[in-house]
Amino acid sequence: MRHFLVMTAFAGFAAIVFGIVAKDLNRDQVIYGLKVFAEFLVIGLVLGWILYFLPF
């Protein structure tokens, strides 16, 4: 659970910066930030499960 919380915090910080820097309009910034946030979480979870099954 601690790992997930840390990953969520990381995704949140990165999403805030990416969203604000990449887009100009507030609405676009929020949408892009949420998208980046979700992508970080989903990719992190998928990678976690893939690595879980690797024997090395």
The stretch near another protein (CB under 8 A) out of 13-21, 36-44, 47-55 is 13-21
State yes or no: residue 24 binds another protein (CB under 8 A).
yes
Name the minimum Å distance from CB 55 to another protein.
22
> Does residue 20 touch another protein according to CB under 8 A?
yes
Q: d(Cα 8, Cα 37) in Å, to the nearest integer?
A: 8
Out of 4, 17, 45, 46, the only residue in the binding site for another protein (CB under 8 A) is 17
CA separation for the pair 41, 43 (Å, rounded):
6
